[in-house]
Amino acid sequence: DQRFYYVAEHNDLITKARHDLNAQELKIMDFVVSKIKPDDEKFNIIDTSMYEISQVLGMKRSGRTYSQLASNLNDLRKKDVFIYNDEERSVTMTGWFETAKVWENGQVQLRINEDFAPYLLQLKGNYTQHLLFDTVQLNSRYSILLYKLMREADKDYGTKITVLSGTPEEYKEWLGAPESYTFNSLKTQVLQKAIDEINLKIEDMDLEMFTARRGRKVIQVDIHNNFIKN
């Protein structure tokens, strides 16, 4: 079952990339990335189909579903992603797919943009992997992105409590939440909902949120994964 393939990404793609993909588009990208082999030296054309994508993503097989997936693929081709490099003091501005081709019979060919090569190919260190199954079952964009951040923060591979720390502003950036959100809105509309969904659906995550204040202002948010492997 392809849902149990691994998705491997350089940590910078998780922590330093900014984009506005919705939940469906994030799942499609994870599906595509899961097809990359560890020894691939370049991005090969990925041959798939609307049927395969819909099956892996748990969608009903219908003309409406295929039409929606075609729209998602087109959006992924056009949408911008910005990847920041602190060492170079640079930002890579690119799109997700170099090409996306769809046939009337539902066959699909995709090629990932070459700009992603340092972040997806020949990964030897400073990368995070997770099961495609995990993100496929999450329904919220915020849940998917928070899940990836928690995996990236787990440097001890589940043997100790994992802590993700950041300011409210950093969480807005990481999760793509509206800048206008007050902390209360960020907490109730984004963080707590994402935590609740992850706790419900991800077997090895038990997330809990803590805050630190200076006066009445929240200056830091810590999210703990209290699940520890035996």
H or E segment at 62?
none
Give the position of tokens 């506005």: 20
Q: Which of the four pLDDT bands, split at 50, 70 and 90, describes residue 136?
A: very high
Domain shared by 75 and 166, yes or no? no
Q: Which residues contact 23 (CB under 8 A, 6 or more apart)?
A: 138, 139, 140, 141, 143, 144
Domain shared by 204 and 177, yes or no? yes
Domain shared by 187 and 152, yes or no? yes
DSSP state of 186: I
d(CA 90, CA 186): 29
CB atoms within 10 A of CB 16: 18
In one-letter notation, the amino acid at residue 114 is: E
pTM confidence score = 0.96
Domain ranges, residue 204: 139-225
Domain shared by 72 and 154, yes or no? no
Q: Which of the four pLDDT bands, split at 50, 70 and 90, describes residue 217?
A: very high
d(CA 230, CA 225): 15
- What is residue 230's predicted lDDT score, i.e. its pLDDT? 76
d(CA 57, CA 55): 5
Q: Is residue 129 part of a domain?
A: no
CATH number reported for the structural domain that contains residue 92 in this entry: 1.10.10.10
Last residue of a domain, one of 120, 151, 173: 120
pLDDT digits (tens, 9 = 90+) for 154-211: 999 999 999 999 999 999 999 999 999 999 999 999 999 999 999 999 999 999 999 9
pLDDT digits (tens, 9 = 90+) for 76-135: 999 999 999 988 999 999 999 999 999 999 999 999 999 999 999 999 989 999 999 999
d(CA 10, CA 4): 19
d(CA 10, CA 8): 7
Q: Is residue 155 part of a domain?
A: yes
Q: Where are the beta strands (DSSP E) in 74-206?
A: 80-85, 90-95, 97-102, 107-112, 127-131, 162-166
pLDDT digits (tens, 9 = 90+) for 6-30: 999 999 999 999 999 999 999 999 9
